[in-house]
Amino acid sequence: MSTIERFEEPVYVIRPFLPPLEEFCEGLKEIWDNHWLTNNGPVVQRFGRELSNYFETDNICLFTNGTLALQIGLQGMGISGEVITTPFTFVATTHALFWNKIRPVFVDIEPDFYTLDPEKVEAAITPWTTAILAVHVFGHACKVNILADIARRHNLKLIYDAAHAFGVRIGSRSIAHFGDMSMFSFHATKLYHSLEGGMLAFQDSGLKSVFDYLKNFGFASEVEVVMPGTNAKMNETQALMGSMVLGYVDKLIERRQRVTEIYRERLDGVPGIKLPPALPAEVRYNYAYMPIEVDEKQFGMSRNRLHEELKTYNIYTRRYFYPLVCDYSCYRSVSVKDPLTVARKVASRILTLPIYYDLPLDDVRRICDIIIALGSKEHDRQGSKLVAEA
C-alpha cells in the first residue's frame, strides 16, 4: 500500500473539454462582427443545422439548458396528471415534472444498467397516467422497444431524459429517434457541451413552433404573443462552443472508450466491485460515465468509506445517484408505492469514477490500483483482527 502515492493535483470525476483557445477566439470575432448576441442569431442557426445533421432529423429545438428544455417539452406536449419515472437520476428530471404540476410516480430500475424497469412501469399505470419519462442514465440506452410497446398499448407519451446520451446509437439510428421526445443536456460537466445548453428532439414536427414560442416569451410576431412563454433561448457564445466541441466529439468518445477499457480490465474480478455488463451489441455507447457498485462485505469497506478514502489520495469520485430523488426533502411527501428495491440497493453502492478525455491512462491504472489496495488492506486488517480475537 505504502508504494502507491496520492495524486499531487486533485483528480475530479469530470473535466470539461475545451477546444484550442485560438479557434474559439476566431469564432468570437465572427460574433463581434455580427454584433448579434442572442435571439436566434446566425451562429445558433448554423449550430442548429449542424445538430440536425448529427442527429439526422430536422425536428430539434435548442435551449439555454437541458432542464428548461425538458420543462418546456413537457409543457408543449401538454403532459399532465401522472408521469411514471425513475428516482435514480439527477433531480432536474423530476423538477421538470413538478414545474408542470405533474405528479411523479417513481418506479424501480433494472439491476444491470439502472434504467427504468419496464415490468414495474406497466404495474404503475393508472387512469391518470399520461406519459413515461425514462432516463438513459449514464448513457445506457433504456429498453426502448419494450417501453414503446407499453406506451402504445396504454396510449401514453414516451419521453426520454437523454441528458447523458449524446452520441449513443441503437442499430443504425441515433438514440434521439426513440420515443416521442428526448432531451439532451449540453452542460459543461457532460460528455458533450456548449458551456451550458439543451436540446429537444421530437417526432411530431408540429411541436417545433410550440417550443419556439415557449422559449421566447410566446412571441409569434412583434405584436403577437400567443402563449405565456418563458425565456429559455440559447445564445451565440453557447452555440459557438457547441459547434466547436461537436467537431471533436467522436474523438472524445473514442478516448473515453480507452479509459473505460482500462478501468474494466483492471477492476474486473476485484472482489466486491461490480461493473455494468457489456451493452447489447446493437448499442453504440458513448462512455459518458464510469459507474461501479461497491459491495461492502466482499470489498471490505462501504461505498461511503471508499468515497472518503479516495479523497485522501486526491481522487474525487461522485455518488451518482444518491440519494434517490424521492428521498430529497422536497419530494419526501410524494407517495411511492413501488418498494424501489433495486434503486435503493444501487443508490447505496454506486460510485462513479473519474473519466474525461485527457485523463492520462497511467492515472486510470493508478486509480484502479488504489481502489484495489484499499479493499485488500481492509481485508488484511479484518483478517488480522479475527486472528487476534481467536
Ligand X SMILES: *Cc1c(COP(=O)(O)O)cnc(C)c1O
**Which spans of this chain sit near ligand X (rule: CB under 6 A)?**
65-67, 89-90, 92-93, 135, 161, 163-164, 185, 187, 196, 198
Smallest distance, Å, CB 6 to ligand X?
29
Cβ proximity to ligand X, 198 vs 272, nearer residue: 198
Residue 162 vs 253, nearer CB to ligand X: 162
CB of 67 to ligand X, least distance (A): 3
Q: Of 30 and 327, which CB lies nearer to ligand X in the complex structure?
A: 327
CB of 172 to ligand X, least distance (A): 25
As a whole number of angstroms, the distance between CA 97 and CA 87 comes to 13
β pairing state of 82-85 and 60-63:
unpaired
By Cβ distance, which residue is nearest to ligand X? 66
Minimum distance between the CB of residue 349 and ligand X, rounded to whole angstroms? 19
Residue 272 vs 291, nearer CB to ligand X: 291
Q: How far is the CB of 97 from ligand X (least distance, A)?
A: 12
Judged by beta carbon, residue 182 or residue 262, the one nearer ligand X is: 182
SS3 per-residue string spanning the chain: CCCCCCCCCCECCCCCCCCCHHHHHHHHHHHHHHCCCCCCCHHHHHHHHHHHHHHCCCCEEEECCHHHHHHHHHHHCCCCCEEEECCCCCCHHHHHHHCCCCEEEECCECCCCCCECHHHHHHCCCCCEEEEEEECHHHCCCCHHHHHHHHHHHCCEEEEECCCCCCCEECCEEHHHCCCEEEEECCCCCCCCCCCCEEEEECCCCHHHHHHHHHECCEEECCEECCCCCECCCCHHHHHHHHHHHCCHHHHHHHHHHHHHHHHHHHCCCCCEECCCCCCCCEECCCCCCEEEECHHHHCCCHHHHHHHHHHCCECCECCCCCCHHHCHHHCCCCCCCCCHHHHHHHHHEEECCCCCCCCHHHHHHHHHHHHHHHHHHHHHHHHHHHHHC
Kindly state the cell numbers that stand for 338: 413501488
**Between 69 and 292, whose beta carbon lies closer to ligand X?**
69
Q: Which is nearer to ligand X, 92 or 370 (CB)?
A: 92
Q: How far is the CB of 267 from ligand X (least distance, A)?
A: 24
Q: How far is the CB of 187 from ligand X (least distance, A)?
A: 4
Nearest distance in Å: CB 198, ligand X: 5
Residue closer to ligand X (CB basis): 183 or 370: 183
